[in-house]
Chains A and B, each alone.
Chain A
């Protein structure tokens, strides 16, 4: 593993200043569950390997909190996924976030991994993650996406971003989009639909990092859910996942946010699925119609990743009928 200099940040401002000072030679560490893996495997080009690691856990006041301010749930960026999964506050009105947090990776990872780190986690494509950067894909300093001609079973069925087909397989991000969250940074804030980028994961600028997640309380009587399909039941990224917020949960639907994860380069908010639901009530038929609508614009690379289309459609149905 490449050696580095470890720096403890004392405040949000201090972390931002150090991040600006060291630029691309620095990376932030919170739980570190993915960063250490990146360093160990040397999957990044040598020039991208950080010389400085800035530790956010030493920031005061701490960014590890879950609280409700008025009708808004506020979660500090350093809050561990385990704490979110079992928070009675989160379970109260934001249960889909709890559902998602419970299925991220494994118990030990959730004990270390933070929500801020999770939504900024780098892509998992095995071409990008190859040791010693053997494939030099477009995401890793090279050109083109080798997965297109190669093994793209896990890649996007909704097209590429900047030539990269690797999906955002995150479990938390679709929920944030479904619940219309705001991502607060040291420099400002983003609505969830503006936060994610299909190529560089987030739209965070230089010296910018996540400090808090704000989630409004869903309308009374709404239905929310998160479901995930993965090849194995733990320590696995989603083959596809789905977060929903439907208002109201029973009776005629007036608003719906259906978000698919791990099928596109960003969490995919399906307007077609919402349209299929609005004006109807949840039933097996409407769920099937919404599922079909959700993937109506899907365009798999080949038969190899076509399964994601049916899988995502099935998850929409499962979430709606849960």
Chain B
């Protein structure tokens, strides 16, 4: 399936001015493609424990009753029959749910007022799942159905039905207003307009981003302690919400992490289930399991469906210079009024070099799902449109779109690189290098034959190629971050962080960095799932920043552990006349920096004047006899060695990373049937230092798969008459299958991020916008149908062709 896997232009730049992390020579584990993923054996053997695998004696099951309306209020609810059903042991409605659980308006766990069809009006606990479902059917609820608004443009119209307060507008942030846009447009050779609709009637949104593993929680109140087994990427959030709901100290709640199946965007919300499950467990003194039903999973919890419409404008001169750009974005904030538009427009400020830019966003309350994160902090939705706009601008001046990208892509770094944030230090910028890599690896110059010129024609089938790049900023959103390094007497090591591995391989990345920084063999490092009782709080993975954030804490913990290790070595007289800061590790040995360093795992005897001591030998001293005191006993040297690392982004001042990606797509369009087949994808990821090589590769391939769906068919559909979801499960909603995957070439443009451990930046998200928009641009190249919406389904293609 994968044609090739290339690394392009690895940069060996060292001592980057602001970096304390780049001075590691001869990297052994970082960027090593042969690293075995942490827990790989258990996964292959099917022995991993996921939260839904948790079974306990006396376990009971929680089910939630959801409203079948988009906007309504409950006028009466009768649970008599449900309570009488044998096996039912608890029923909760809005009449009796404790206030602490129903925390805030629009975030009620069990609500009388229904603002979205997946809101919960009652909960049942029973000894069997089927009994709980039967009981849900027996609850008699009468509603007063109210008018509803699904779309943000409807919600923001004058005279619209007002859902909350006096306006449907959630709020607007200060727009970005750089230079004089109108004056620049007036002087431009061409001005391009694009009215991009992510929300269209056939397909309402792009991604529900309901992860394949549904949310599952088991709560057990026992021995004055609430244990919570969760499948969320935010176990610390579970801990806090359960503690708050039950008025318990945080210390009385333990989140016990299991293997997490997937996240892919936003699996950080607890929804209603965990708090209600905890409540029932607390009151019934029985373990309670809640497994999110698919309707809820798609509609309520996993929130990353597309919600932005953009009205864009770009001025361009015939020499290829972008003179100005503007965008007014309307975001669908859903029933909880989430911010969608602001984060949708934010990346544009670092996408192109132009002195004139105006960006404005408005979010609206609607009766839809809350807008969220489609695996790229909502950048995807606007950035896809932006990349189509760039293609249109290049075409308007008959310029090769690849050259247009090289000329105009934002390429600045350092303090003040982004005018709107003059105090921010923008991390390394890989443009235009990664774009040039993409052009070379894809063979763009030989394949692209001109505007509206297919690369091949075979009867009704026309082939085309498209290109797109993406810059987005990721930065100061990750406090606290912490890690613990525990050295064992045999020289092995455990790295425990409070950040959940959500399937992307964070535990492996942490272990790689630990092995590299400690100078020990990777096989000696274990990075386990954690329990909140056994480590400090650390951030939820997200924003493609956990490697940079918690990874930095890992490095600091390693250094703390090494200092203790060096002290022990000095106390044991393995080294004399030195201080800990004069020692370092490499290849499993401690050595004096002033002397020669080992250069292999079997270095032999140290040369004259140098001392090499095995790390394992020093670790063994933790339990070795130091001396024996007569009539008192035997004393060891001490231990254990526990290194702690704590890091907060704020300590580095205001900073942001630029994560970057470039993609070319080759497609074949059947102009008779409107079918689109993606034939080939070439992707270059500017990931900084490529710390977890295979994990990065997997993330990119996953992102490509995700966005093939975004481009072609992965839409959450709604019934406009009722506002109800039509395909809220994976039998009706379509995500790409392996059969839909094209041949792919993935390359990494490695540079060194000043704030990232070993120079790492981030990988997960940038591929998303560039992959889907390259498909849109390729479709245009093939058949001349320009995408102005997500989902180039056959009906859109055929309509564009006049059929």
- Do A and B pair up? The answer is yes
Among B201, B670, B718, the residue within 8 A (CB) of A314 is: B670
Knowing A132-B68, A235-B737 touch, does A229 contact B675 (C-beta < 8 A)? yes
Query: Contact mask A213-231 → B, CB, 8 Å, 1/0?
Result: 0000000000000000101
A129-174, CB < 8 A from B: 129-132, 134-135, 146, 149-151, 153
How far, in whole Å, are A2 and B726 apart by their CA atoms in the complex? 22
> A135: which of B129, B134, B719, B794 is its contact (CB, 8 Å)?
B719
Q: Is B736 an interface residue (CB 8 A)?
A: yes
Q: Which residues of chain A are within 8 angstroms of B295 by Cβ–Cβ distance? A: 131-132
A238 to B718, CA, bound (A): 21
Contact of A231 among B294, B460, B713 (CB under 8 A): B713
Task: Return chain B residues, CB-CB under 8 Å to A126.
Answer: 717, 726-727, 732
Q: Are A3 and B130 in contact (CB under 8 A)?
A: yes
B673/A311 in contact, CB under 8 A = yes
- Contact between B137 and A150 (Cβ–Cβ < 8 Å)? no
Cβ A311 vs Cβ B739 within 8 A:
no
Q: Kindly state whether residue A310 has any CB partner on chain B within 8 Å.
A: yes
Chain A residue nearest to B670 in the complex (CB): A314
Q: Enumerate chain B residues within 8 angstroms of A231, measured Cβ to Cβ.
A: 712-713, 734, 793-794
Instruction: Please give, as numbers and ranges, the residues of chain A lying within 8 Å of B794 by CB-CB distance.
Output: 229, 231, 239, 307, 311
- Indicate whether A234 sits within 8 Å of B721 (C-beta atoms), given known contacts A130-B726, A131-B295: no
- B673 partner residues in chain A, CB cutoff 8 A: 229, 240, 310-311, 314-315, 318
Is the pair B670, A134 in contact by a Cβ cutoff of 8 Å? no
Contacts of B137 on A, CB cut-off 8 Å? 46
**Is A307 within 8 A of B724, CB to CB?**
no
What residues of chain B lie closer than 8 Å to A131, measured between beta carbons?
Answer: 293-295, 728-729
- Does any Cβ of A come within 8 Å of B140's Cβ? no
Chain B residues 729-756 with CB under 8 Å of chain A are 729, 731-732, 734, 736-740
CB distance from B257 to the nearest CB of A (A): 28
Q: Decide if A306 is an interface residue (CB 8 Å cutoff).
A: yes
Point out the residue from A42, A234, A239, A304 that lies within 8 Å of B740, measured CB to CB. A234
Query: Which of B159-167, B215-223, B365-373, B795-803 has 4 or more CB atoms under 8 Å from chain A?
Result: B795-803
- CB-contacts of B678-731 with A (<8 A): 712-713, 717-722, 724, 726-729, 731
Residue of A nearest to B791 (CB): A231
Give every chain B residue within 8 A of A153 (Cβ-Cβ). Answer: 202, 795
In the complex, the answer to whether A303 meets B799 with C-beta atoms within 8 Å is yes
Query: Whole-angstrom distance between the alpha carbons of A1 and B133 in the complex?
Result: 8
A2 touches B717 (CB 8 A): no
Q: Tell me which residues across on chain A come within 8 A of B713, comparing CB atoms.
A: 231-232
Residue from the set A146, A231, A305, A321 with the largest chain B CB neighbour count within 10 Å = A231
Q: Once the chains bind, are A151 and B133 in contact (CB under 8 Å)? A: no
Residue B672 interfacial (CB < 8 Å): yes
* A126 vs B728: C-alpha distance when bound (angstroms): 10
- Asked whether A1 lies within 8 Å of B130 as measured between CB atoms, the reply is yes
Interface string of B113-143 (1 = CB under 8 A from A): 0000000000000000110011001000000
Query: Out of B720, B731, B737, which one reaches A150, CB within 8 Å?
Result: B720
Which residues of the other chain, A, contact B130 by a CB distance below 8 angstroms? 1-3
A37 contacts across to B, CB distance below 8 A = 731
Chain B min CB distance to A129 (Å): 6
The reply to whether the CB of B235 lies closer than 8 angstroms to some CB of chain A is no
* A232 near B670: Cβ-Cβ < 8 Å: no
Let me know if A151 and B717 touch, CB within 8 A: yes
Of all chain A residues, which has the CB nearest B69?
A134
* Per-residue interface assignment for chain B, residues 748 to 787, with 1 indicating a CB less than 8 Å from any chain A CB and 0 otherwise: 0000000000000000000000000000000000000000
In the bound assembly, the distance between CA atoms of A37 and B727 in angstroms comes to: 14
Contact present for A127 and B732 (CB under 8 Å): no
- Find out whether the CB atom of B734 lies under 8 angstroms from the CB atom of A2: no
Chain A, residues 279-322, CB within 8 Å of chain B (1/0): the string is: 00000000000000000000000011111001101110110010
Bound-state CA distance A314–B794 (Å) is: 12
B662 within 8 A of partner (CB): no
Q: Which residue of A lies closest to B709 (CB)?
A: A232
| A307 engages B674 (CB within 8 Å) | yes
Least CB distance, B719 to chain A, in whole angstroms: 4
In the assembled complex, the Cα of A313 lies from the Cα of B734 at a distance in Å of 25
- Min CB distance B251 to A, Å, is 39
Complex interface: chain B residues within 8 A of A135 (CB): 719, 722, 724
Contact across chains for B718 and A151 when beta carbons are under 8 A apart: yes
Residues of A within 8 A of B717 (CB): 126, 151
B202 touches A130 (CB 8 A): no
CB distance B719 to A234 under 8 Å? no
Instruction: Closest B residue to A41 by CB, please name it.
Output: B729
Kindly report which residue of chain B lies nearest to residue A227, judged by CB atoms: B673
A187 at the interface (CB under 8 A from B): no
CA distance A106 to B795 in the complex (A): 24
**A1 contacts across to B, CB distance below 8 A:** 129-130, 133
Q: How far is the CB of A250 from chain B (nearest CB, A)?
A: 19
Output the nearest chain B residue to A230 by Cβ-Cβ distance: B675
A233 at interface, CB cutoff 8 A: yes
Determine whether the beta carbon of B674 is less than 8 Å from that of A106: no
Interface residues in A190-221 (C-beta closer than 8 Å to B): none
Residue of B nearest to A106 (CB): B737
A236 touches B (CB below 8 Å):
yes
Roughly how many angstroms separate A310 CA and B295 CA in the complex, as a whole number?
Answer: 34
A150 contacts B719, CB within 8 Å? Answer: yes
Q: Which residues of B contact A41 (CB under 8 A)?
A: 294, 729, 731
Q: How far is the CA of A125 from the CA of B727 in the complex (A)?
A: 10
Residues of chain B with a CB closer than 8 A to A232's CB:
712-713, 734, 736-737, 739-740
Residues of B within 8 A of A149 (CB): 721
A1 CA to B672 CA, complexed, in Å = 42
Residues of A within 8 A of B460 (CB): 314, 317
Considering the complex, which residues of chain B in the window 275-319 have a beta carbon less than 8 Å from any beta carbon of chain A?
Answer: 293-295
Residues of A within 8 A of B793 (CB): 231, 307
B253 shortest CB reach to chain A, Å: 32
What residues of A have a CB within 8 angstroms of the CB of B737 in the complex?
106, 232-235
- Measured CB to CB, the nearest residue on chain B to A34 is B731
CB of B732 within 8 A of CB of A129, answer yes
Nearest neighbor of A235 in chain B, beta-carbon distance: B737
Rounded to whole Å, the gap between the CB of A201 and the closest CB of chain B is: 18
Our pick among B722, B734, B740, B803 for the contact of A310 (Cβ within 8 Å) is B803
Q: In the complex the two chains form, what is the Cα distance from A231 to B803 in whole Å? A: 18
**Partner pick for B719 among A146, A306, A314, CB 8 A cutoff:** A146
Q: Inside 8 A of A304's CB, which chain B residues have their CB?
A: 201-202, 795
Residues on the B chain within 8 Å of A235, using CB: 737
CB distance from B135 to the nearest CB of A (A): 12
- Which of B712, B719, B795 touches A307 (beta carbons < 8 Å)? B795
- With the chains together, A130 CA to B722 CA distance in Å? 13
The distance from the CB of B187 to the nearest CB of chain A, in whole angstroms, is 40
Asked if B720 and A151 make an inter-chain contact with CB atoms under 8 angstroms apart, the answer reads yes
Q: Which of chain A's residues has its CB closest to B795's CB?
A: A307
Which chain A residues border B724 with CB–CB below 8 Å? 130, 134-135
Q: Is the CB of A310 within 8 A of B672?
A: yes
Min CB distance A310 to B, Å, is 4
- What is the distance, in angstroms, from B87's C-beta to the closest C-beta of chain A? 11
Q: Select B674's contact among A236, A303, A310, beta carbons within 8 Å.
A: A310
Specify which chain A residues have a CB less than 8 angstroms from the CB of B732 in the assembled complex: 126, 129
CB-CB nearest in chain A for B718? A151
Which A residues lie within 8 Å of B672 (CB)? 310-311, 313-315, 317-318
For A2, what are the chain B residues with a Cβ–Cβ distance below 8 Å?
130, 133-134
Q: A37-B731, A146-B722, A314-B670 are in contact. List 10 more A-B contacts (CB 8 A).
A: A3-B130, A106-B739, A126-B727, A130-B724, A146-B721, A304-B795, A307-B795, A307-B799, A310-B798, A317-B460
CB pairs A–B below 8 angstroms (13 shown): A41-B729, A126-B727, A127-B719, A129-B731, A130-B726, A146-B719, A150-B726, A151-B201, A229-B670, A229-B794, A232-B713, A233-B737, A234-B739
B residues contacting A by CB (< 8 A) are 68, 129-130, 133-134, 137, 201-202, 293-295, 459-460, 670, 672-675, 677, 712-713, 717-722, 724, 726-729, 731-732, 734, 736-740, 793-795, 798-799, 803
> 5 tightest A-B contacts by CB?
A314-B672, A307-B795, A234-B739, A314-B673, A233-B739
